[in-house]
Amino acid sequence: MVNQRRIIKKLPALLCDGATSQRKFYNEFMRYRWRLMQLRKHNPQRFSSLTVELVAVLEKIDKELQEQNH
């Protein structure tokens, strides 16, 4: 089961290329976070549809991994 709220919270860190503990990547993290919140604020339908697509893909991956373990 994939938690959509957790994905939204972790998404800016996943989009960064490095460790967010370094200043350069922390700034990039904050920029992604701000952009995502602006998308959520100004275009909520698009943000919602993109997160639903992302959750669907992650659930497919989770399902495949569960099937491989059994």
pLDDT band of 48, cuts 50, 70, 90: very high
Alpha-carbon distance values, 18 to 25, 29, 56 (Å): 6, 9, 26
Q: By the 8 A CB rule, do 12 and 33 touch?
A: yes
pTM: 0.82
* pLDDT score recorded for residue 1: 77
Residue type, 69: N
When the pLDDT of each residue in the chain is averaged and rounded to a whole number, the result is: 94
| Beta strand segments in 1-70, E | none
* 8-state DSSP, 70: -
Tokens for 40, please give them. 């959520």
Predicted pLDDT at 57: 95
